Structure 1
Amino acid sequence: MNHAVLALGASVSMHVGWNLIARRAPQDSWPLWWALLGHLLLFAPWGWWSLWQEAQASPLLCALAAMSALANAIYFIALAQAYERAPISLVYPMVRSSPLLIALWGQLFLGQTLGAGTWLGLGVSGLGLVVMALSTLGSAGAGASALDQAAVRKALPWALLAMLSTSVYSLSDKAATAYLPSTGALLGYVSLSYLCAFAALSLRLKRRTGAWRPPRRLPWRLCGLGALCIGWAYVLVVHAMRQMPAAEVVGYTNAGIVIATLVGMLVFGERFRWPVRLGGALLISAGLALMAR
């Protein structure tokens, strides 16, 4: 369990680091595209070699890898579509509400049983994520402006699709860990998913801009940091799933949203509706504490 906790802590740190990188990068540079490209160039070759040499090859592993790859591609496309219709601060907390869905699928299909405290913690954290998402609106709930309501209506189907995709690849990743004996094999498995996601993003880029490369290049230093953070954060999450249920692992990674929110308010001066956002962060933290009991 200690290894899983350390892996989750490192993953959350990398996830926060990536979000800070993406926040400061020009959006027309398509930072996610560059980060995925960097991962595929720097880390995927070793991972694929390890996967070929060390994984316990079976038709089931191939099916799980294909399921994760397809779900990751759908996730990235759905997330991008949602971001075009509503702010990231509204969409991302909605997407990160997936642990409750993962817990339900895990119980139905994998026979995973969670304690009452874990279910309660997932519910409280989910409520905190909803509060944080609604804090973006001009006025939460029924008093939201017509523009806010229109943004929610347009973005909601894509955000729900991204959340569903997260639940799918999380469960297939959990099941695949039984066939992946080493960190290198895990890296290769994750890199297959990222290759599929990169291909999907490249097709979307071509459709949007008419070119296969973003209009602006992300600085190489940021590209390298992004490749390190986005790739290894995922590997560490799957590694933690060796010892913990998938819903718990994904639930704990939402600590990154709390940290990113606090950094935004304290470092970048993001004070818009800060009492509501802080309340959402406290609810998420309370949910995580309940899960850890």
Structure 2
Amino acid sequence: MTPLVVLAVLTAALTHAAWNAIAHGIKDQLLAFTLVGGGGALCALAMAPFAAVPHRGAWPFLAASVVIHLAYQYLLMRSFRLGEFGQVYPVARGVAPLAVTVLAAVFVSERPDAWQASGVAVASAGLGGVALWGLRGRRPNWPALAAAVGTGLTIAGYTVVDGVGVRDSGSSLGYITWLMLLQGMAIPLLAVIVRRGGLLAALRPVAARGLLGGALSTAAYGLVLWAQTRAPLAPVAALRETSIIAGAAIGTLVFKERFGRPRLLAAVVVVGGIALMLAG
């Protein structure tokens, strides 16, 4: 991975943690994801005049990605509704890197070299440490954890599908534009059906925050898709999940959750894993 790719993915990680924190901070999760999805769709509409239509070979991957993203959003909403941000966010993101490594090796024939494999393993261990520290001293919330693990598996699924699709699309901008257009309107349409006349009044107090979350979500995933056209999927996925560190920091500063020395040590382990990936 070149320095520019690394910078893009690290920026995406910080941006991703920020929009997830915004979504978690809106207590009504249907409203939160209505605004995030709608904000992403509005961004896609703004980008559409400047984006090429993806090549024909990318459309099956786009369709599959939309389905997986909708499952991801449902499970993420459920985990946010059931658990604390500092617990479910690290678990959801920490599951993904190793799963992506396996899926990319099986379906895309991307087998990491020794440096990359070691880096992914070390970074995943550090990410797991951040996640597991959130369980320290408390009884596990099994429904929330199950939803978070399911979220992580869907993350791995759409990462591999989109990694192949964006490479076949001919345009990373075109791919992210159509992906956000297609998936961004699903939850808003559901909200219109469920909430009916009361939807606009409920959205108004949180509209600015939620739409900002949608813009950040589009930027975060657009950067990741661009990086996937220039680097193997597994290292990009592992580097992206450093958003866990940003998420833990946001949990401390915004949601008043403890960070603590164990998380600091885990963060150092993550950095060591990244160094191994870059050494390869």
After TM superposition, the score normalised by the length of structure 1 is: 0.81
Assess, with a 3 A threshold, how the Cα gap between structure 1 residues 186 and 62 changes in structure 2: closer, same or farther: closer
Residue 245 of structure 1: which of 225, 228, 232 is its match? 232
Q: Is the 8 A contact 2:34 2:187 kept in 1?
A: no
Amino acid in structure 2 at the alignment position of 1:17: A
Structure 2 match to 1:126: 124
Aligned residues: 276
Q: Equivalences for 1:95-244 in 2 at 5 Å?
A: 95-96=92-93, 97-139=95-137, 144=138, 148-149=139-140, 151-152=141-142, 154-192=143-181, 194-195=183-184, 198-200=185-187, 203=190, 212=199, 215-244=202-231
Q: Equivalences for 1:248-287 in 2 at 5 Å?
A: 248-262=235-249, 264-265=251-252, 267-268=253-254, 270=256, 272=258, 274-287=260-273
Q: Is the 8 A contact 2:45 2:181 kept in 1?
A: no
Gaps of 5+ in 2: none
Percent of residue pairs bearing the same amino acid type: 23
Output the aligned Cα RMSD: 2.9
How far, CA to CA, are the matches of 1:221 and 1:209 in structure 2? 21
Structure 2 match to 1:292: 278
Structure 1 match to 2:35: 34
Is 2:22 the counterpart of 1:8? no
Q: What is the CA-CA distance between 1:19 and the residue it aligns to?
A: 4.0
How far, CA to CA, are the matches of 1:238 and 1:275 in structure 2? 34
Q: Is the 8 A contact 1:79 1:162 kept in 2?
A: yes
Gaps of 5+ in 1: none
Q: What is the CA-CA distance between 1:114 and the residue it aligns to?
A: 0.4
After TM superposition, the score normalised by the length of structure 2 is: 0.84
Q: What is the CA-CA distance between 1:262 and the residue it aligns to?
A: 3.5
Q: What is the CA-CA distance between 1:172 and the residue it aligns to?
A: 1.1
State the SS of the aligned residue for 1:137.
coil
Q: Is the 8 A contact 1:258 1:285 kept in 2?
A: no
Structure 2 match to 1:64: 61
State the SS of the aligned residue for 1:215.
helix
Assess, with a 3 A threshold, how the Cα gap between structure 1 residues 222 and 156 changes in structure 2: closer, same or farther: closer
Q: What is the CA-CA distance between 1:220 and the residue it aligns to?
A: 5.0
